[in-house]
Amino acid sequence: MGRERKSHAPPPGRQPVLEACSPTIIKNIHSIVALAMEEHADGQQPKIGIIGMGDMGKMYARRLLAGGWTSIYACDLPEKFEVLTEEFKDTSLTILSSGHLVSRLCDFVLYSVEAAFMDKVVAEFGPSTKLGAIVSGQTSVKAPEKEAFEKHLPQDVHIISMHSLHGPTVSPEGQPMILIQHRAPDSKLRLVEEIFACFKSSYVYMTYEEHDLVTANTQAVTHAAFLSMGTAWHSAASYPWESGRYVGGIEIVKINIALRIYANKWHVYAGLAILNPSARLQINQYATSTTELFKLMIEGNEPELRRRILAAKQTVFPESASSTLERAPILLSDKILDQFSLGPQPAAGSSPRNSHLSLLAMVDCWHVLGIRPFQHLDLAATPVFRMWIGVAEYLFRDQNRLDDALNSALNDTAHRSDDTEFVIAARGWSQCVDFGSWESYRRRFERTREFFAPRFDEATKVGGEMIKTISASSTPSTYAASSSTSSLPPRPPPKD
C-alpha cells in the first residue's frame, strides 16, 4: 500500500455534461490495474461478480480476465449453469448457481441483464448484497435501473452504474464508458475506474438523467433509421447490394450498419426505445420527418423541400467558423468506402442517384428537436452513431451531393417504391414503440433478422473493419454548447 496514488475522481465544480468534452470530463485510463491489485485493503484482489452472462456479460468477463483479474464470479439462469461452467472451465472465472451467491460473496457486482427484467432480478438478488459492496448495472436505459437499485438494494451498499457504449463484438479501447456515481464516495469510484482500466475506454461521468438524454440523442433515432431500412428492404424482398441501386459510398455504410444492428439481439434496442421517454419522442419525430419530407417529394414542392432541408443543414452543420473548432471530416472518400461493399464494387462514378430520404429525415429530425449531434460525438458516441453522423455530414457538407439528392427526391422515380416502403417502415416502428409493445418489437425485428441472417457473418466482419477505418480517420472535436442544453442538472460535488 505504501505508494501515493493519483486520484482519478472527477474534480470539484464539474460542468454540466454537455457544456464541453474537456479532459476533466473524459479521461483515458491506461495502466493502473497493477496498482489497483496491489492496493486493495487486504492485499488481495477485490472479488468481482457478474449477474447475467449474455453477450455483454461474457465480453466483460473475458476482458477482465485478460486484464489480470482472477477473483471473478458469475451466474445466469439455472439451466445455463453447466454450459457456462464448461465454457469457462480453463479460466479463473467461477460460475455460481445463483445470484444470491454472487451478491453475498463479491465486492463489486455488475448486473448485466435486459432492462425489462432489471427490477425483477434486482428484487431477487439485491437484498443479498455484501455489506459495503459496490453495485453496478450496464443497461442502455438507466431510469428503470435507478429505480430498481433504490428500491431493492440495502442502504449499506454503494451504487455506481456504468454503460459501455458499444456492442460485444467491438473493442472497448477508446470507446466511451459512462460512469454514474449515484451513491458512493470517491474512493469507490476510483476502485471501479481501476477495475475497468484494462478496457482502455474513455470514462465519461454523468448522472442517470444525463445518461438517458444523451443515449436517446445518440442512439434512439439512429437505431430507428437502420431498423426502418432493414424492414423496407425486407418488405421489398430485395437484398440491397444485389439490386444495383445500393452500391458505392453512402449506400455501403447504410447496408453494413443495418445488417450489423439486425445481427444483434432485439432486446438491445427495444429497451432503449420503449423504456426511455426521450427516445420515444425522438423516434416519433423521425417518423414524422420521414412522412412530411416524402409528401413534399411526391408533391414536387421543391421550394418548401429545399427550404426545410437547408434550414436543417444550417442548424446541424453550421457554416459559421465560430460554430465549431477545426475538425477533419469523419468519413473518407468513396474509394475507401467501396472496399467494404458486400456486393460487386461499383465502377468509378457509376453510383446511381438516391434521394437519401433516411438521411434527410435524420437531419430534419435533429433540427426540429434542437439536437446538436456533434456535442455528443466525442462525449458519448457509439461506433454506429459515429458512422451515421459521418454519412450525414458526408452528404450535407457537399452542396453538389446534397443537390443531387434533392433533385433525385423530386424528379427521379427509380427509388420511389423503396422510399414508400421506408416511410411505412418508419411509421410502423414508431407506432410499435409508442404502444410500448415488447412482443410487437420482437416480432418485427426477428422477421427482418431472418431475412438477412445468411449474410450476418460477412457483414459483421466487414462492418468491424469499416468501423476501424472510420474511427482512425476521425479526430476529436468540440462544438460550443447551445442554450438548449444548459438546463441539464449540474454534476454532484465529490462525495468523500
Range of the domain at 273: 210-473
Q: What residues are paired with 96 via a beta bridge?
A: none
As a whole number of angstroms, the distance between CA 69 and CA 487 comes to 40
Checking if the pLDDT of 477 tops 70, the result is no
Q: The pTM is what?
A: 0.76
Q: How many domains does the chain have?
A: 2
218 shares a domain with 126: no
Q: What confidence score (pLDDT) does residue 264 get?
A: 86
Residue 273 belongs to some domain of the structure: yes
Q: 363 and 346, same structural domain? A: yes
Nearest to 186 by CA among 379, 3, 4, 11: 11
* Of 44-48, 337-341, 401-405, the least confident: 337-341
DSSP secondary-structure letter at 264?
S
- DSSP-derived letter for residue 344 is P
pLDDT tens across 216-259, in order? 888 888 899 999 999 999 998 877 766 655 555 677 778 888 88
Residues 356 and 465 in one domain: yes
The C-alpha atoms of residue 385 and residue 447 are separated, in whole angstroms, by 24
In a shared domain, residues 251 and 380: yes
Q: What is the rounded distance in angstroms from the CA atom of residue 134 to the CA atom of residue 130?
A: 9
pLDDT tens profile 351-397: 567 899 999 999 999 999 998 887 776 676 677 787 788 888 888 98
Which residues are paired to 94 by β-bridges?
Answer: 73
Q: Say if CB 136 and CB 193 are below 8 A apart.
A: no
Query: Over the chain, what is the mean pLDDT?
Result: 81
In sequence order, what DSSP letters do the residues of 348-415 get, joined into one string?
TT-PPP---HHHHHHHHHHHHHT--THHHHHHH--HHHHHHHHHHHHHHT-HHHHHHHHHHHHH--TT
- Which has more pLDDT, 26 or 384? 384
* Angle (CA) 466 472 475, round 5°: 130
User: CA-based Rg of the chain, rounded to a whole angstrom?
Assistant: 23
Would you give the DSSP letter of residue 324?
Answer: B
**Highest-scoring range by mean pLDDT, 137-141, 185-189, 238-242, 480-484:** 185-189
Q: Indicate whether 290 belongs to any domain.
A: yes
- The SS3 assignment for 493 reads coil
**Mean pLDDT of the region 426-455:** 93
**Could you say which of 205, 233, 248 is where a domain stops?**
205
Model pLDDT, residue 347: 54
- CA angle centred on 277, ends 444 and 425, rounded to 5°: 25
CA–CA distance, 381 with 389 (Å, rounded to integer): 10
pLDDT (tens digit per residue) in 392-427? 888 898 899 999 999 999 998 888 999 999 999 999
Whether residue 264 is found in the same domain as residue 201: no
Of 111, 145, 113, 153, the C-alpha closest to 129 is: 153
Distance CA 455, CA 461 (A): 10
Which among 178, 205, 232 is the end of a domain?
A: 205
Same domain, 214 and 198: no
Would you say how long the chain is, in residues?
496
